[in-house]
Amino acid sequence: MVTSYRFNVPRLVIAAPSSGSGKTTVATGLMAAFSERGLAVSPHKAGPDYIDPGYHALATGRPGRNLDAFMCGPELVAPLFAHGAAGCDLAVVEGVMGLYDGAAGRGELASTAQVAKLLRAPVVLVVDASSQSRSVAALVHGFASFDPQVRLGGVILNKVGSDRHEVMLREALEEAGMPVLGVLRRAPQVATPSRHLGLVPVAERRTDALTAVSALAAQVRAGCDLDALMAVARTAPPLDCEAWSPATALTRSRGAAPDPAPRTPEGLDASASPAFEARGSGGGAAGNGAAPVIAVAGGPAFTFSYAEHTELLQAAGAEVVTFDPLRDEALPPGTTGLVIGGGFPEVYAPELSANEPLRKAVAAFAEAGGPVAAECAGLLYLGRSLDGKPMCGVLDADARMSDRLTLGYREAVAVSDSALAANGTRLRGHEFHRTVIEPGAGASPAWGFTHPERRVEGFVQQGVHASYLHTHWAAEPSVALRFVEAAAARP
């Protein structure tokens, strides 16, 4: 028997011809403005970015969630969307880059256009009109006609200079048959400061960020026709999909057949490493029957995480407790597993280094074989030093800031057994950093990259899995289950 699932929520995809057109301003402002009307708004971000969803969460009071067709696969985009948007009155999806830009050399994969098609959602195009008038119609016509399966519901004009400028733009778009759903004038930018990897995260400036989101809501409310935008959102047809669920994902992961012969891909040189063995109960609870305690790094220095990671850890039986490496001098009581995600440790290196009691506690936990999953910022924190400042010293590696931005999607395979991934586990992820660590891989590397270049990367030693690679565990729930089982096996 085939079970039919129909999910229906009004929805909009906010896109643009290119980066820098004003997507974040409009998307965040719309989320906040509709929330102020009393609507439950589900916030989403196309692509892997961690920072914009923090502002989305502030605008809506709900977790910002990513929809990434490269990391999770196109087949999970609609289910993950339905999971986040359940019970909401409206969903707003902020796009990534230009509407048709996606993974390099992969056609439409991971583009905003692909996400819009998978969600059957109308697109609102945000156009920077600051240096054009009638030409805006040709630009919009090109985006509307490039892919007939992408449905443009209207345009929001940004950085409009004057009443006369607005009239010319509206006349041109009327000729093209494209509705104008909003006009935002040139104005002093709302204070949303940036640095080397984009906007400063909400966790580092919460009070100022609240003020900024409120200002964005006022700007959008004054310049956009919210009723017309809601009418466009309601034109989205029902989705035929089953909403993603962490519990269901783990059940299916348990039933999946393992790779009978995992091996290092041809062309990758990885030293043979011993198999990781979790000694103890082997279940989803600690040997004493209590839920294993997974400590997750948070605070201003460690802000990068996908909401589904915590949900999967909890569904696997863990108690998830957040701690702040800038302020807390000890790991949470009863910690049996440690997750240190991405963020900006390079900005807080002196403060992280000054918290010597916690650095020693992390080192002792790792030395005792405790399971540790570290991504990017976590990798740097576990190293010997960061920009000359002592870190935890778990890894014999030193990190420093660099002028070079490392950015892009990666295809990877685990080349060493670890608490996080069995040898042969395949995942897609992304790198996003301006630091380098030397050496870049340990004797037992974490991953072998198979695309876009073939190399090994990261560190596996005892219970530690540390790497620059950001991954989305919804794509491979077995990693969360494996990690909780390793934590549960701790004495």
Integer angstrom CA distances of residue 36 from 89, 211, 225, 455? 13, 14, 15, 49
Report which secondary-structure segment, H or E, holds 77. helix 74-85
Q: How far apart are CA 15 and CA 405, in angstroms?
A: 25
Q: Report residue 452 CA to chain centroid gap.
A: 20
Please name the residue ranges forming H helices in 37-71: 51-60
Torsion of the alpha carbons at 440, 445, 447 and 452, rounded to the nearest 10: 40
Residues 6+ apart with CB under 8 A from 80: 65, 67, 72, 244, 308, 474
| Number of other CB atoms surrounding residue 171 within 10 Å | 12
Determine which one of 72, 224, 376, 392 is catalytic.
376
Integer angstrom CA distances of residue 95 from 15, 91, 411, 417, 421? 5, 13, 22, 36, 31
Tokens of 52: 């914009």
Buried b (16+ CB within 10 A) or exposed e, 114-148: bbbbbbbbbbbbbbbbeebbeebbebbbebbeebe
| Number of other CB atoms surrounding residue 2 within 10 Å | 3
Q: How far apart are CA 170 and CA 178, in angstroms?
A: 9
Give 124's strand partners.
14, 154
Are 123 and 153 contacting, i.e. CB atoms less than 8 angstroms apart? yes
Residue type, 202: V
Largest CA distance in the chain: 74
Give 426's strand partners.
413
Residues 6+ apart with CB under 8 A from 354: none
Residue of 74, 19, 122, 84 whose CA lies nearest to 311: 84
Active site residue 376: yes
Active site residues: 376
